Amino acid sequence: MNIIKEIKQLSSLSGISGYEHRISQYLANKFKKYCDEVYIDSIGNVIALKRSEVGSGKVMLEAHIDEIGMMVKSIDDNGFVLITSVGGIDPRILYGNVVNVHGVRDFIGVIGAKPPHVMTDDEYSDVIDFDKLYIDVGMSAEEAKQNIPIGSPVTFDCLNTELESGYFASKSLDDRASVAILLDVLETIKDVDLGYDLYFCACVQEEVGLRGSLTAAYAVNPDVAIAIDVTHATTPDESKGTFKCGCGPVICKGPNIHKTLCNNFISCLNNASIPFEIEVESGNTGTDAWSIQTAKEGIPTLLLSLPLKYMHTPVETLNIKDCESVSSALVEFLKSYKRTGDMLC
């Protein structure tokens, strides 16, 4: 599969937390091609099962499909659209961006604020927060109120820009890049009977509190789970605790991660000569791995990440090589994984 093509496709779809239906529909169709069962659960997660004819056991791969964005909270008397954030979004990056307002249909808008010329000196040096930002969709108040209901989601315009040396910039690569990896893994192993049931969970509402993965993990209740997400890549302004793009999969260690599972995964990568990095998280990883670990009666969980620059902006940037190596790492592990009774500590 051409991962970059799939990432472009996925990233061009819009779906802030709670409004992922475009992506879930798209994915349900994709999964149906090679999976035995596909359904969308009560909160909106897509759960796809590739069954084994010969063995038992359950492995779950998970990535989240929602993206950060904004929501319309009011329209003022002049037709400007007032917004609130959905997920962790830095208001400082918003001014001057092009956005899609998903009203009765999709409208293009720009994010404006009071022009610098009429700002006081204090205002000029201040951060422009959500209460001072608005979207200009070029409509009168009457038009806007008719076309843009309260609660309409707002997403960044999709850039899909290929940079040099395999780098690629777009919105919502967190975590659509990982979703593309899930599809790539599925396509690679579509004709292989792994000896256990493999579940693909594309989960909603991660960005607002790891919500979707809670119900998915509870329903699937796998023997082991692997969450795939992004981690911070090294940039000129931050080298501490970050990872160079191109380093391959980043494997997390810490209380959130099952030790035996993690060691098995690492030795599998060593055997396959796939380079990787270790990331240490002393507590909450802030990813779906955190909610999956304590679902039901406890699930041995692993977190696999790929480095991403400028997270939670419209110009999230990754190197496609990392996507490919995370995908191969997963395939290697899935092929070597054997159910060994209960995975004890």
The contact set with another protein (CB under 8 A) reads 17-19, 21, 41-44, 71, 73-74, 82, 84, 86, 131, 149-151, 205, 208, 211, 214-215, 218-219, 241, 253-259, 278, 280, 282-284, 293-294, 296-300, 342-345
Beta bridge partners of 229: 305
Closest contact distance (angstroms) between CB of 16 and another protein is 9
Find the largest Cα–Cα distance for the chain.
72
Residue type, 344: L
Contacts of 123 (CB under 8 A, 6+ apart): 114
Closest contact distance (angstroms) between CB of 294 and another protein is 5
Closest CA to 46 of 22, 67, 69, 70: 22
Tokens (6 digits) for 215: 């119900």
- List % helix, strand, coil for the chain (3-state, nearest 5): 30, 30, 40
- The C-alpha atoms of residue 317 and residue 279 are separated, in whole angstroms, by 20
Using CA atoms in the order 200, 23, 89, 324, what is the torsion angle rounded to 10 degrees?
A: 50
Our CB check for another protein shows the closer of 86 and 99 to be: 86
Beta strand spans in the chain (E): 37-40, 46-50, 58-64, 69-75, 81-86, 98-102, 106-112, 134-136, 153-156, 161-162, 167-170, 197-203, 224-232, 250-253, 277-280, 301-308, 316-319
Closest CA to 36 of 215, 197, 179, 219: 197
Alpha-carbon 14 to chain mean position: 12
Closest contact distance (angstroms) between CB of 216 and another protein is 8
| Among 62, 206, 281, 316, the one annotated catalytic | 206
- Annotated catalytic residue 206: yes
* Contact call for residues 231 and 308 (beta carbons, < 8 A): yes
Active-site amino acid positions = 206
